[in-house]
Amino acid sequence: MILAPPTRDLGDSPWRIIVHHDAVVHVRQRPKRHRLSYRVFTLALDIDRLDQIDRSLRLFGNERGVLLSLRASDHGPRDSSIGLRPWVEELLQGIGQAAPAQIEMLTYPRLFGHVFNPLTVYFCRDADRVLRAIVYEVHNTFGDRHAYAIPVTGQDDSLVMQHAEKRFFVSPFIENEGDYRFRVRPPGEDVSVVIRHATSEGPLLDASFTGTRRPLTDRQILAMVLRHPLMTHKVTLGIHWEAARLWLKGIPFLGRPASSWRA
């Protein structure tokens, strides 16, 4: 995971990357237990500094096709001309939050031009670097996307606990009901995002991501790509492989509800 330093530290800190030790784990509790685990590397970048990061590295590009890249069309509003910051600010305004001084996005990059992001997380901080809100941008394999914007209040922002009603269809093997419980350690020396999906029948699915911080250099990027050369393809293929395993275990295929919508 690549981490940009805070805006006020501009020029004082190296770019950062969290890699290698990152792990994604999903555990389904019912009707039959099912577990998957795989290693990835992800980026955590200040969205206002993407062009600067682009200029500082040869192997990372913002809106250009190099080894690792980000494209606005992969995130946020369908109309990429709106821009990520105005989109996040509008989401925060909807929950009574002021425009953040810094927005740090945690996401997969495009690798060799390909990416699928099941979840992108935006950490929104004020001018004093206090975490004020988190936005969870969810994508499904049908091309739909939806964002949950949740304030961070009354707690130490080194470990954030949040809740949201499930409003977006994700998987044809998972009920489109219930709620999410989030347990998040924002990017620092390490990072973790744990999400529990529960329905009226109890816990259904636990999904977690953990990672550690590393310096971001072209050499480090190359090393990570050599370790995970097909990472972004692995995410897509892994989703379909795990779906096949669920089906073979006899877990009901629920299909895509007629009310599934884009956001």
Give the pair of three-digit tokens for residue 120: 């992108």
Average pLDDT value for residue range 159-182? 85
Beta strand 2-3 with 190-199: parallel, antiparallel or unpaired?
unpaired
| Residue 200's pLDDT band (cuts 50, 70, 90) | confident
Query: Hey, which of 21-25, 189-193, 254-258, 259-263 has the most confident mean pLDDT?
Result: 189-193
Residue 95: the pLDDT is: 96
Identify the pLDDT of residue 5.
Answer: 39
What percentage of residues in the chain have a pLDDT greater than 70? 77
Dihedral sign computed on CA atoms, order 6, 7, 10, 12: negative
Task: Say what the pLDDT of residue 241 is.
Answer: 60
Provide, rounded to the nearest whole percent, the portion of the chain with pLDDT above 90: 34
* The model's pTM: 0.85
**b/e for 198-232, b at 16 or more Cβ within 10 A?**
beeeeebbbbbbbbebbebeeebbebbbeebeebb
> Could you report the per-residue pLDDT of 5-55, keeping only the tens digit for each?
333 333 334 445 444 446 787 777 677 776 777 788 888 889 999 998 999
Strand pairing class (60-62; 68-70): parallel
Residue tagged 């699928």 (tokens):
116
pLDDT digits (tens, 9 = 90+) for 51-108: 989 998 999 999 988 999 999 889 988 776 788 999 999 999 999 999 999 999 999 8
Contact residues for 216 (Cβ-Cβ < 8 A; gap 6+): 2, 3, 14, 15, 16, 17, 57
Side-chain-side CA neighbours of 74 within 13 Å: the count stands at: 19
CA separation for the pair 199, 4 (Å, rounded) = 37
Q: Are the C-beta atoms of residues 84 and 76 closer than 8 Å to each other?
A: yes
